[in-house]
Structure 1
Amino acid sequence: MLEVKDLHISFHTFAGEVQAIRGINFDLYEGETLAIVGESGSGKSVTTKSIMKLLPTSNSEIKKGEILFKDKDIVRSTEKEMQKIRGKDISMIFQDPMTSLNPTMTVGKQIMEPLLKHQRLGKNEAKKRALHLLELVGIPKPEVRMKQYPHQFSGGMRQRVVIAIALACAPKILIADEPTTALDVTIQGQILDLMKELQKQIETSIIFITHDLGVVANVADRVAVMYGGKIVEIGTVDEIFYNPQHPYTWGLISSMPSLDETEDELYVIPGSPPDLLNPPKGDAFAPRNAYAMKIDLEQEPPMFKISNTHYAATWLLHPDAPKVEPPADIQERMHMFAKGEI
Structure 2
Amino acid sequence: MENILEVKDLHISFHTFGGEVKAIRGVNFNLKKGETLAIVGESGSGKSVTTKSIMKLLPKSNSEIKQGQILFNGKDLVQLSDKKMQKIRGKDISMIFQDPMTSLNPTMTVGKQIMEPLLKHQNLSKSEAKKRVMELLKLVGIPNPEVRFKQYPHQFSGGMRQRVVIAIALACNPKILIADEPTTALDVTIQAQILELMKTLQKKIDTSIIFITHDLGVVANVADRVAVMYGGRIVEIGDVDEIFYNPQHPYTWGLLSSMPSLDTSDEELYAIPGTPPDLLNPPKGDAFAPRNQYALKIDLEKEPPLFKVSDTHYAATWLLHPNAPKVEPPPSIQERQAEFAKMKQVSLSKGGETK
Distance 1:153 1:201 in 2: 25
Relative to structure 1, the CA distance from residue 268 to residue 336 in structure 2 (aligned partners, 3 Å threshold; closer, same or farther) is farther
Contact 2:27 2:233 (C-alpha < 8 Å) held by counterparts: yes
SS of structure 2 residue aligned to 1:83: helix
- Deviation at residue 337 of structure 1 after TM alignment: 9.6
Contact 1:94 1:179 (C-alpha < 8 Å) held by counterparts: yes
Partner of 1:282: 285
Contact 2:117 2:172 (C-alpha < 8 Å) held by counterparts: yes
Relative to structure 1, the CA distance from residue 191 to residue 70 in structure 2 (aligned partners, 3 Å threshold; closer, same or farther) is same
Task: Indicate the RMSD between aligned Cα atoms, in angstroms.
Answer: 1.5
Partner of 2:10: 7
Partner of 1:139: 142
Distance 1:181 1:87 in 2: 22
- 2:150 aligned partner, one-letter code: K
Contact 1:107 1:148 (C-alpha < 8 Å) held by counterparts: yes
What per-residue deviation string (whole Å, max 9, x for no partner) do you get for residues 58-102 of structure 1? 000000000000111100110001100011000000000011111
- Deviation at residue 316 of structure 1 after TM alignment: 0.3
Contact 1:222 1:235 (C-alpha < 8 Å) held by counterparts: yes
- Deviation at residue 13 of structure 1 after TM alignment: 0.2
Distance 1:32 1:325 in 2: 33
Distance 1:328 1:214 in 2: 19
Q: Trace 1:122-161 onto structure 2 (pairs within 5 A).
A: 122-161=125-164
SS of structure 2 residue aligned to 1:233: strand
2:36 to 14, 22, 33: 33
SS of structure 2 residue aligned to 1:235: strand
1:96 to 96, 99, 102: 99
Q: Are 1:201 and 2:223 counterparts?
A: no
Partner of 1:179: 182
Contact 1:253 1:333 (C-alpha < 8 Å) held by counterparts: no
Relative to structure 1, the CA distance from residue 260 to residue 334 in structure 2 (aligned partners, 3 Å threshold; closer, same or farther) is farther
- 2:283 aligned partner, one-letter code: P
Relative to structure 1, the CA distance from residue 30 to residue 79 in structure 2 (aligned partners, 3 Å threshold; closer, same or farther) is same
- Deviation at residue 44 of structure 1 after TM alignment: 0.1
- Deviation at residue 325 of structure 1 after TM alignment: 2.4
Contact 1:90 1:175 (C-alpha < 8 Å) held by counterparts: yes
Distance 2:318 2:47 in 1: 23
- 2:181 aligned partner, one-letter code: E
Contact 1:254 1:333 (C-alpha < 8 Å) held by counterparts: no
Distance 1:334 1:151 in 2: 47
Distance 1:327 1:72 in 2: 44
- 1:288 aligned partner, one-letter code: R
Partner of 2:329: 326
What per-residue deviation string (whole Å, max 9, x for no partner) do you get for residues 237-272 of structure 1? 000011000000000000000011545341000011
2:170 to 154, 167, 171: 167
Distance 2:225 2:266 in 1: 29
SS of structure 1 residue aligned to 2:227: strand
- Deviation at residue 334 of structure 1 after TM alignment: 5.9
Q: Percent identity?
A: 84
- 2:319 aligned partner, one-letter code: L
Distance 1:122 1:42 in 2: 43
- Deviation at residue 233 of structure 1 after TM alignment: 0.2
Moved more, 327-336 or 255-264: 327-336
Q: Unaligned stretches of 5+ in structure 1? A: none
Distance 1:200 1:188 in 2: 19
Q: Trace 1:194-273 onto structure 2 (pairs within 5 A).
A: 194-262=197-265, 264-273=267-276
Q: Are 1:68 and 2:74 counterparts?
A: no
- 1:57 aligned partner, one-letter code: K
Relative to structure 1, the CA distance from residue 337 to residue 306 in structure 2 (aligned partners, 3 Å threshold; closer, same or farther) is closer
How high is the TM-score relative to the length of structure 2? 0.93
Partner of 1:309: 312
Tell me the matched-pair count. 339
Distance 2:189 2:340 in 1: 20
Relative to structure 1, the CA distance from residue 44 to residue 118 in structure 2 (aligned partners, 3 Å threshold; closer, same or farther) is same
Relative to structure 1, the CA distance from residue 117 to residue 62 in structure 2 (aligned partners, 3 Å threshold; closer, same or farther) is same
- 1:95 aligned partner, one-letter code: Q
Distance 2:307 2:300 in 1: 18
What per-residue deviation string (whole Å, max 9, x for no partner) do you get for residues 178-232 of structure 1? 0000000000000000000000000000000000000000000000000000000
- 2:88 aligned partner, one-letter code: I
What per-residue deviation string (whole Å, max 9, x for no partner) do you get for residues 34-61 of structure 1? 0000000000000000000000000000
- 2:219 aligned partner, one-letter code: V
SS of structure 1 residue aligned to 2:189: helix
Contact 2:246 2:340 (C-alpha < 8 Å) held by counterparts: no
